[in-house]
Structure 1
Amino acid sequence: MHGSIFTLLKRYVQTQYDHSTWVQLLEASGLDSGDFDHKTVYPDEHMYALVGKAAEMTGIPAETLQEKFGEYLVPDLMYMYAKLVQPEWRTMEMIENTEKVMHKRVREEHSENAPPVLDVTRVSANELLIEYVSRRRMGALAVGIVRGLAVYFDEADQIQVEPTTREDGQHVQIRVRRRA
């Protein structure tokens, strides 16, 4: 997983809790250092260990933590990819263009980068269906990012996000509806 995600996870833990919680989380996860380079790709197992231990430490299910972290990520992701985002895009358009614009760029930057595959279908003017597929099994993170996009674009009261399948988190279907 890309180092920038680990860097943002560190900041998330430090802002939601504190620095000592981050240090305790690293120790409990068996990781030597919490200094992640944003340009390096790290083993997915590092993220699994961190999320799993965070769930144990907080009593919050890992899936819920992933969703909350996904929501938290959005402003930073929007900043990182600002040059690729069209000014007229809102929540639905961002979702529709993530795979062919942002994920394409991520894959081009480094051959080891492997963001999830998002197959987005426009069901109607007010509805999208996202097929999330990733061996990382972090569909809840994607759900959180979609919710975070709605907040970012000030559409949270208009956008309904509903994961319709959970399975093992590797293949998750997410329905996104704009209330008419």
Structure 2
Amino acid sequence: MYGMVNKAVEDMVCTQFGESVWEDIKSCAGVDIDVFMSNEAYPDEMTFQLVSAASEVLKIPAEAVLEAFGEHWVLHTAQKGYGGLMQANGSTLPEFLANLPGFHSRVQMLFPKLQPPGFECTDVMENSLKLHYRTHRAGLVHFVIGLMQGLGKLFNTPVTVHLVESKEQGADHDVFDVKWSNDAIE
């Protein structure tokens, strides 16, 4: 994964828990890098080690770390890194989700070595859709749930996300049931 992913994990931890906790997490993960370079590729295993160590140090499930990271990614990292692309992808949650399949193609122009996941929306209704998620990386279901929750917050739209088909349970890919309300969050 690109260094910007690890930098975002660091930013989330430092913002919410402080730099000393981040140093504890890096130590627990066996990561001795002082500064992650945004455009440099790092082994996926390093990111997963950081998530596992964050779970251990913070004493919360890894799934909760991934969901919090997904929200942080949308509300902070993506806004800073891809602000224009985020805005161009849609002005409402349903519009953004409808355009999500092409989003990573545009991001890939910025990061040519990116191995992005694939997203596809089906069964689109006024307040729901099925989000199909295809990736070569295992273990990111809760990150996607966090991304959807972050998008709900970004667009001031209450959203619920449930995994309805799981690659880990034998499905071809992961499928999420995404529902939203047209009532804005106050």
Call closer, same or farther: CA 1:171–1:53 in 2, change over 3 Å: farther
Partner of 1:15: 15
Q: Verify the 8 A CA contact 2:161 2:176 in the aligned structure 1.
A: yes
2:142 pairs with one of 140, 143, 146: 140
Identical residues among aligned pairs (%) = 28
> 1:88 & 1:32 partners in 2: Cα distance?
39
> 2:34 & 2:142 partners in 1: Cα distance?
23
Q: Equivalent residue of 2:165, what SS? A: coil
Give me the TM-score of the superposition, normalised by structure 2. 0.85
Partner of 1:114: 115
Q: 1:74-153 counterparts in 2 under 5 A?
A: 74-76=74-76, 77-84=78-85, 85-86=87-88, 89-100=91-102, 102-137=103-138, 138-153=140-155
Call closer, same or farther: CA 1:168–1:96 in 2, change over 3 Å: same
Q: Equivalent residue of 1:81, what SS? A: helix
Call closer, same or farther: CA 1:67–1:166 in 2, change over 3 Å: farther
Call closer, same or farther: CA 1:64–1:40 in 2, change over 3 Å: same
- Which stretch of the first structure deviates more once superposed, 41-50 or 51-60? 51-60
Q: Equivalent residue of 1:175, what SS? A: strand
Structure 1: runs of 5+ lacking an equivalent = none
Instruction: Report the AA paired with residue 95 of structure 2.
Output: E
Q: Verify the 8 A CA contact 1:2 1:39 in the aligned structure 2.
A: yes
- Which stretch of the first structure deviates more once superposed, 166-175 or 139-148? 166-175
> 1:82 & 1:110 partners in 2: Cα distance?
15
Structure 2: runs of 5+ lacking an equivalent = none
Q: Verify the 8 A CA contact 1:139 1:171 in the aligned structure 2.
A: no
> 2:9 & 2:42 partners in 1: Cα distance?
13
Give deviations 1:50-89, integer Å, cap 9, x for gaps.
1111112222111111011111111231343332333852
> 2:2 & 2:178 partners in 1: Cα distance?
26
Cα offset for 1:123?
Answer: 2.5
Q: State the Cα RMSD in Å.
A: 2.1
Give deviations 1:111-153, integer Å, cap 9, x for gaps.
3211211122243122111111222221211110111111111
Give deviations 1:78-111, integer Å, cap 9, x for gaps.
34333233385211221221220x2002223333
Q: Verify the 8 A CA contact 1:26 1:34 in the aligned structure 2.
A: no
Instruction: Report the AA paired with residue 154 of structure 1.
Output: N
Give me the TM-score of the superposition, normalised by structure 1. 0.88
- Which stretch of the first structure deviates more once superposed, 32-41 or 143-152? 32-41
Partner of 2:58: 58
Matched, 1:31 2:31: yes
Instruction: Report the AA paired with residue 28 of structure 1.
Output: C
Call closer, same or farther: CA 1:129–1:62 in 2, change over 3 Å: same
